[in-house]
Structure 1
Amino acid sequence: MGKGQGSKDDPDGAMVLKRQVGLVGGIALLVGTIIGSGIFISPKGVLRSTESLGMSLVIWMVCGVLAMLASLCYAELGTIIPKSGGEYAYLGEAFGPIPAYLFSWTYAIVLKPSSLAAITLTFGTYFSQLFVSGSCSAPTYLIKMWAVLAILLIAFINSYSVKWATRVQVVFTAAKVLALVIIIFVGFIRICQGYTEHLDPSISFEGSSTRIFAYGIAFYQGLWAYDSWNQLNFVTEELVNPKRYGCPKGWVQSSNLFVSDKKFSTYRLAFVSAREGHMMEILSMVHIKRFTPFPSIVFTSFIAILMLLPNDFDTLVNYFSFAAWLFYGATFTALLVLRYKYPNIERPIKVPIVIPIFVLLASVYLVIAPIIDKPELDFLYAVIFILAGLLLYYPFVHKKLSFKCNKTFTYFLQKLMRVVPSAKPIS
């Protein structure tokens, strides 16, 4: 069996993912995430909660600062724990297997696929308009058809080659940056033409909401557009030189992305958690020629397609954000715990202690504010679903309960997909 560049076989015949994501690809993965569909959908949600244009802009600015500070914390975590899986790896190292399992259960089964579903629905909505006339809205079936095709196309690219995926990211990131430059340029032209009424604070802040906890939902909507500033941490094992992203002269970016970028990192969560024994064994395997987590890609894409059935964007974003910031807060706490547990470990990047404390407090606010302002059953359902993972953890993970047909089924899928077990990275 040929070995790809940057990969090696395990003594037991297992394989590892290839380190093919270089500095440009890593930056594209991050920058591409922030310039995505969220920025075209979230503004109305932010405005609805803040009730003024001026306060909406303040929320957007604070969201950007918060995402940047959070990404700095993740840069430190990614260089001291060089494992893929993001929060899964850090929670496991700091608190043990149960919090890590609950994270992987929540994200791999629901939140990441549903996030992809929302993004592809957005793509389907805009792309479908090319096929309808005038001001008519595209039919739902057409929107979802294009969303499904987008998921399948990007799944194929990510399955076929990591290099293909990163090249697509670079191209689309460059295109989106160019589009933003054009939009900003047009905005300045409009200002020069005299359209400056909304620059007057007495007008732009008029009617701003006075309910402090109401801004929690506004932050959810804004941070949705910034979400995925942590995506590079999900593919740490595929970075050519992980420490390069964390050194003082290196690049530390935050962001969110186009469909292909987000799926690139999303697929890796199911792969890593399966490798740790927290999901089906087949999901931890790697294609023998492509060195990609093919079963994990198929699994995640299938769930994402199922998630296309409902399409309530606001409910999806609020549900996602509540659970996400619950785990983000736990991860910032993990950073503080690891500072205490391993004070002498090499840290290519080390953020001032005030930063993880600040983002941890922000996480607490983001979790409790929407509940205080407007209690809804959605938040209770989110907590119940997270804890429901314990019902599966005890028998199947802790006690390692297995049925006789499991090995036969796994072997069948292994031959069908042409995949082999993957080796754990050496920390």
Structure 2
Amino acid sequence: MASEGGDAVKTDFAPASPGPDSKPANGQPVSDSDLVRLKPKISLFNGVTIIVGIIIGSGIFISPQIVLGFTKSVGLSLLVWSACGVFSMIGALCYGELGTMITMSGGDYAYILVAFGGLPAFLLLWVTVVIIRPTAQAVVAMTFANYILQPFFTSEDCPPPTSAVKLLACCCVLILTFVNCLSVKAATRVQDVFTASKVIALLLIIVAGLVHLFLGNTENFENSFEGSTTSVGDIVLALYSGLFAYGGWNYLNFVTEELVNPYRNLPRAIVISVPLVIVVYVLANVAYFSAMSTAELTASKAVAVTFGFKLLGPMAWIMPVAVALSTFGGVNGLLLTGSRIYFVGARNGHLPEALAMISVRWKTPMPSLILTCCLTLLYMPAQNIIQLINYFSFVTWLATGSAIAGQLFLRWKRPEMARPVKVPIALPIIFLIMCLFLVIMGFVAAPIDCLIGSAIICTGFPVYFFGVYWTSKPDWLVNFIHNATYKMQKFLVVVAEEKKLD
């Protein structure tokens, strides 16, 4: 964190570059490619695969039974999936305006920082660093490991050994961290390949299900709304589950500075990817219902695997492999985007400055990637990772709602700001109301979990005042921080971000 100079938060709307100036040497101008900084290498296609690849994780393959369990009917279940898609699309459009108005990477953190200042942004950053990102990555990595081992342990009485799952999950995180440290281009290529594989797997499900449906197997769709729940609480919980499966629609905003022509490609990537996911999700659910009754689907622990056994016969092994490929790409997307939160936070003085360093050779934020990896590995031995994530499920909507509130605040406070994309004001208002509803219902449905999450957020207050607000730190502490940063720079061969002087 900032060791001197107080709250070193930068609220520039363009990317900040706190590193050394790169001056011409011997009269020769320094080319942009020689500068040590993050490069805009993410194309429109890469942006689409990042959004699609992160949204389509394990949820659509293994969790539709949760939505059905709450809604109690096929028709209402499909309505919930569609409603969650529309809600996600509204949020994505709002983030399209935010991302082209504030071209700083970091997503929610950057927008809250610009709109409301350092302390609220730091609290979000704190809970993200400590729990949300590492636990999410650990869970997705363990899901990958569990399903990649599934074909070798086909008996229900003989599941994959826990030690093997955790070891393979650690290998997954380590390999993808290495790839992300090596090159942004390599990381986006991994994302492209695995996004394509998971879309192909879903298309296989959709085609097989629709063929089964067209052959006359329509009994599961007869009286499709019969037995639908009338409980508002159950519908809200179904929405939570559906929205969880759509999570990731705003993650391209975490790497805005590395997106080629963000003013054009960010909104285009959103408009292409989110509707695509909505169509795929709804059709995948239709395919599931074509092959399984509501009782079978509700009882299934892994819907895609059950679907494979019913319709694919000897090719059923494809489904666990498809889930594994999907989650592998999900871990890659989380590492790529999550590390940028730490990088931007450090660049603005909210985390140790070492995390704002960039590899001289690879031009990647290596220290923040390594920290992301280490924190994820620390959570691997834990037995209650999913419960930890539940503590902070409401934080996601609190953060998203705060970012949208910042959008409305800046519409009023800073109307002169350039807005290359400007959505109708009704959209952020509707989305903010829904976010508030989800946060409040979180406290109603799971008050203990939400209170524990709130308490851990509050632990960020003393950290902020010690690390950021306290400007008169003793010399020995300042020297210790500087020496540690210097040694890390030598070990990893990293430097602060450079900017070009005209």
TM > 0.5 between the two? Answer: yes
Contact 2:20 2:496 in 1 (8 A): no
Of 315-324 and 119-128, deviating more is: 315-324
Distance 1:248 1:158 in 2: 25
Pairing of 1:332-347 with structure 2 (within 5 A): 332-347=404-419
Counterpart residue type for residue 27 of structure 1: V
Distance 2:435 2:256 in 1: 24
The alignment status of 1:267 with 2:339, answered yes or no, reads yes
How far does residue 46 in structure 1 lie from its aligned partner after superposition? Answer: 2.2
Distance 1:302 1:155 in 2: 10
Label 1:375 to 1:175 Cα distance change in 2 as closer, same or farther (>3 A).
closer
Distance 1:318 1:425 in 2: 45
Task: Choose the corresponding residue for 1:380, options 430, 443, 451.
Answer: 451
Distance 1:276 1:181 in 2: 43
Label 1:420 to 1:34 Cα distance change in 2 as closer, same or farther (>3 A).
same
2:495 match: secondary structure: strand
Distance 1:101 1:64 in 2: 30
1:279 match: secondary structure: coil
Of 124-133 and 231-240, deviating more is: 124-133
Contact 2:55 2:245 in 1 (8 A): yes
Of 405-414 and 76-85, deviating more is: 405-414
Q: Deviations over 1:346-377 (max 9, x none)?
A: 211111111001110110111111322x3431
Distance 2:167 2:499 in 1: 38
Contact 1:157 1:164 in 2 (8 A): yes
Task: Choose the corresponding residue for 1:365, options 426, 437, 441.
Answer: 437
Distance 1:250 1:56 in 2: 25
Q: Deviations over 1:305-349 (max 9, x none)?
A: 222233557535533421100111111101101111221222111
1:286 match: secondary structure: strand
Contact 1:16 1:425 in 2 (8 A): no
Query: 1:157 matched to which residue of 2?
Result: 179
How far does residue 301 in structure 1 lie from its aligned partner after superposition? Answer: 1.0
The alignment status of 1:169 with 2:191, answered yes or no, reads yes
Contact 1:244 1:250 in 2 (8 A): no
The alignment status of 1:418 with 2:493, answered yes or no, reads yes
Counterpart residue type for residue 383 of structure 1: S
2:336 match: secondary structure: helix
Counterpart residue type for residue 495 of structure 2: V
Query: 2:8 matched to which residue of 1?
Result: none
How far does residue 414 in structure 1 lie from its aligned partner after superposition? Answer: 1.3
Distance 2:74 2:391 in 1: 25
Query: 2:53 matched to which residue of 1?
Result: 32
Query: 1:3 matched to which residue of 2?
Result: none
Query: 2:365 matched to which residue of 1?
Result: 293
Distance 1:251 1:54 in 2: 27
Contact 1:245 1:251 in 2 (8 A): no
How far does residue 280 in structure 1 lie from its aligned partner after superposition? Answer: 1.4
Query: 2:102 matched to which residue of 1?
Result: 81
Which of structures 1 and 2 has the bigger CA Rg? 2
Query: 2:261 matched to which residue of 1?
Result: 241
Q: Deviations over 1:199-219 (max 9, x none)?
A: 12x3x4344333213333322
Distance 1:33 1:170 in 2: 11
Distance 1:161 1:270 in 2: 18
Distance 2:407 2:387 in 1: 30
Q: Deviations over 1:13-66 (max 9, x none)?
A: 884211111111111111111222122233233233333333222221111111
Query: 2:282 matched to which residue of 1?
Result: none
Counterpart residue type for residue 340 of structure 1: W
Distance 1:249 1:314 in 2: 31
How far does residue 252 in structure 1 lie from its aligned partner after superposition? Answer: 5.4
Task: Choose the corresponding residue for 1:71, options 68, 86, 92.
Answer: 92
Contact 1:286 1:421 in 2 (8 A): yes
Of 172-181 and 9-18, deviating more is: 9-18
Query: 2:391 matched to which residue of 1?
Result: 319
How far does residue 228 in structure 1 lie from its aligned partner after superposition? Answer: 1.1
Query: 2:462 matched to which residue of 1?
Result: 391
Distance 1:61 1:316 in 2: 28
Task: Choose the corresponding residue for 1:183, options 191, 205, 211.
Answer: 205
How far does residue 141 in structure 1 lie from its aligned partner after superposition? Answer: 1.1
Distance 1:309 1:50 in 2: 35
Query: 2:484 matched to which residue of 1?
Result: 409
Label 1:248 to 1:52 Cα distance change in 2 as closer, same or farther (>3 A).
closer
How far does residue 416 in structure 1 lie from its aligned partner after superposition? Answer: 0.9
How far does residue 421 in structure 1 lie from its aligned partner after superposition? Answer: 1.2
Between the two proteins, what is the percent identity of the paired residues?
Answer: 40
Distance 2:64 2:420 in 1: 37
Label 1:328 to 1:258 Cα distance change in 2 as closer, same or farther (>3 A).
same
Task: Choose the corresponding residue for 1:120, options 141, 145, 153.
Answer: 141
Contact 1:15 1:286 in 2 (8 A): yes
Query: 1:52 matched to which residue of 2?
Result: 73
Label 1:80 to 1:40 Cα distance change in 2 as closer, same or farther (>3 A).
same
The alignment status of 1:278 with 2:278, answered yes or no, reads no
Label 1:19 to 1:249 Cα distance change in 2 as closer, same or farther (>3 A).
closer
Query: 1:197 matched to which residue of 2?
Result: 219
Contact 2:44 2:266 in 1 (8 A): no
Distance 2:82 2:116 in 1: 33
Contact 1:75 1:252 in 2 (8 A): no
How far does residue 113 in structure 1 lie from its aligned partner after superposition? Answer: 1.3
Contact 1:159 1:292 in 2 (8 A): yes
The alignment status of 1:91 with 2:163, answered yes or no, reads no
How far does residue 380 in structure 1 lie from its aligned partner after superposition? Answer: 0.4
Query: 1:210 matched to which residue of 2?
Result: 230
Q: Deviations over 1:54-87 (max 9, x none)?
A: 3222221111111111011111111011111001
Counterpart residue type for residue 393 of structure 2: S
Label 1:313 to 1:55 Cα distance change in 2 as closer, same or farther (>3 A).
farther
Q: Deviations over 1:245-304 (max 9, x none)?
A: 256799553379622122110111011101111111111111111111101011111111
Query: 1:19 matched to which residue of 2?
Result: 40
How far does residue 12 in structure 1 lie from its aligned partner after superposition? Answer: 6.2
Contact 2:93 2:267 in 1 (8 A): no
Counterpart residue type for residue 21 of structure 2: P
Contact 1:275 1:281 in 2 (8 A): yes
Counterpart residue type for residue 333 of structure 1: A
Label 1:236 to 1:146 Cα distance change in 2 as closer, same or farther (>3 A).
same
Contact 2:135 2:389 in 1 (8 A): no
2:63 match: secondary structure: helix
Query: 2:318 matched to which residue of 1?
Result: none
Label 1:376 to 1:251 Cα distance change in 2 as closer, same or farther (>3 A).
closer
RMSD, aligned α-carbons: 2.4
How far does residue 145 in structure 1 lie from its aligned partner after superposition? Answer: 1.3
